Structure 1
Amino acid sequence: MRKTFEPRPADPVIIFDNVQKTFNLRHARSLKQTVLAAVRRRDRFEAFNALDHVTFAVAPGESVAVLGRNGSGKSTTLKLLSGVLRPTSGNIYTMGRVAGLLEVGAGFHPDLTGRENVYLNAAILGMTKAETEARFDDIVAFSEIGNFIDTEVKRYSSGMHARLGFSVAVHAEHDILLVDEVLSVGDAEFREKCHAKMRELQAAGNTMFIVSHSAEQVRKLCQRGIVLDRGVMVFDGPIDDAIAAMQQKRR
């Protein structure tokens, strides 16, 4: 269950309370395999714990990196926080508005223009039309889309998708920002602009949850790291120690 709550001054803004997320993996894919499994009374599914009883809390204004190898449960954690997924068991509590960019072009409709998708994506993130209109010029300027803003987004490159989506997310009204591997797109100059905007949001007191494989990026942006390994939280602490723990797991 995912809930929001009214905080006291010392309350965390995110709580993961013994959260488990289980998916059923299908064994039999062909008709023949399905029939044989039924005849032999074999289970066609296998339970896979993407997250296995994970518990942590995040204080207001913290910037936390979620680290781990592919398949460790990082993106599942962000999707649970955003409400895209629901936990199988345990509870998730968040305080305030949650906004995020969980994948390139998430929330975009390919047949709509960039302009139309700005309004659509902003609405998904909880912004009113008036709020979007007030920030529209800043969103477009930051994304560097230029005259392509009135082009259908199905004609955009992946980098253009990511720049526009990221720009909408960071200009939205939010208390918690979730970012999943989008700071690796674009040229070095644009990536540095993204980092500068993230630091600006940090200075304004926003809480951030960031997934990245780049140790350099998370050192710049985060004070704390949570390391996941096959769905289990194996470390939670200072970012340099978290990076060391992740690198140790890769050996």
Structure 2
Amino acid sequence: AGKSTLLKAISGVLAPAEGEVKVNGSFDSLIQLGAGFDIELNAIENIYLYGSLHGRSRSEIQARIPQILEFAELTEFAHTPIKYYSSGMYARLGFSVAIDRDPDILLIDEVLAVGDERFQAKCKKIFQSYIDQKKTIIMVSHSMTTLAPIAKEILLLSKGEVAFLGDPQEAIKVYRGEKYQTALKAAS
């Protein structure tokens, strides 16, 4: 509990109940599938909308459209209103638009759960590029196997409280131990 709320507080969608959140650098977020998109518009129109909301000029956006569509694997669906997209297509477009801005910090909430293995592999390459550039990725996931290979640190939350912060392999042990204990309690 609290994982998505944490991302929303970092992104400014929610105000923290106490304290403050400071963000150093530009960020983009994939907190809710399709957030910021207009489902009546097609991919190209949504790329323009997203880009203009983030301060890009029309010519900058125009120049980036082919790369965004290609990465999202949506070139042949560029003129289809996104209300007809599958959740995977939606996720690919959202991710592709967000990373195209090349933010310092990328906030991701389980959005990759809907992507196929090939697209997830492309995303992992992007994540590695971020790591190599000393950029920050904050990702919410219930899949330790997704996070452990790419994470420098893992934060485990339990009932909105920090249960662990540190090495990914240690986090897996803590996570599996907690899940095991919870399952035992539920079974008895």
TM-score surpassing 0.5? yes
Q: 2:48 aligns with which of 119, 123, 137?
A: 119
Please say if 1:128 is aligned against 2:56. yes
1:149 and 2:78 aligned: yes
Contact 1:185 1:191 in 2 (8 A): no
Report whether the alignment pairs 1:208 with 2:137. Answer: yes
Alpha-carbon separation, structure 1, partners of 2:130 and 2:62:
20
**Residue of structure 1 in register with 2:112 after alignment:** 183
| Cα distance change, pair 204–105 in 1 and its aligned pair in 2 (3 A) | same
CA contact (8 A) 2:27 2:104 kept: yes
1:168 maps onto 2:128 in alignment: no
Q: RMSD between aligned alpha carbons?
A: 1.4
Identity %: 39
- Mapping for residues 211-250 of structure 1, pairs under 5 Å: 211-250=140-179
| Greater fraction helix | 2
- The SS at the match of 2:164 is strand
* Corresponding position of 2:185: none
Q: How far is the alpha carbon of 1:123 from its aligned partner? A: 3.7
Answer with 143-152 or 181-190: which moved more.
181-190
Structure 2: distance between partners of 1:244 and 1:132: 45
1:10-57, Cα deviation, whole Å (9 max, x unpaired): xxxxxxxxxxxxxxxxxxxxxxxxxxxxxxxxxxxxxxxxxxxxxxxx
Runs of 4+ in structure 1 off by over 6 angstroms are none
Which residue in 2 is equivalent to 1:96?
25
1:99-143 CA deviation, whole Å, 9 max, x = no partner? 11112211111111111111222344x241244333221111000
Contact 2:66 2:75 in 1 (8 A): no
Q: Cα distance, 1:206 vs. partner?
A: 1.4
- CA-to-partner distance for each residue in 1:208-246, whole Å, 9 max, x for gaps? 101111111111211101111111111111111122222
Does the C-alpha gap of structure 1 residues 201 and 229 become closer, same or farther in structure 2, counting only changes over 3 Å? same
Matched, 1:196 2:151: no
Paired residue type of 1:237 = G
Q: Which residue of 2 aligns with 1:65?
A: none
Partner SS state of residue 22, structure 2: strand
User: For residue 128 of structure 1, what is the amino acid of its counterpart?
Assistant: R
Which stretch shifts more, 109-118 or 199-208? Answer: 199-208
Q: Which amino acid aligns with 2:101?
A: A
CA distance in 2 between counterparts of 1:237 and 1:227 reads 9
Query: How far apart, CA to CA, are the structure 2 residues paired with 1:226 and 1:157?
Result: 31
Consecutive unaligned residues of structure 2, counting only runs of 5 or more, are: 182-188
Asked if the contact 1:122–1:169 (Cα under 8 Å) also holds between the matched residues in 2, the reply is no
- TM-score between both structures, scaled by the size of structure 1: 0.68
Aligned partners of 1:113, 1:209: CA distance in 2, in Å?
Answer: 29
Question: CA, structure 1 residues 222+117, in 2 after alignment: closer, same or farther (shift >3 Å)?
Answer: same
SS at match of 2:113: coil
Cα distance between partner residues in 2 of 1:107 and 1:141 = 20
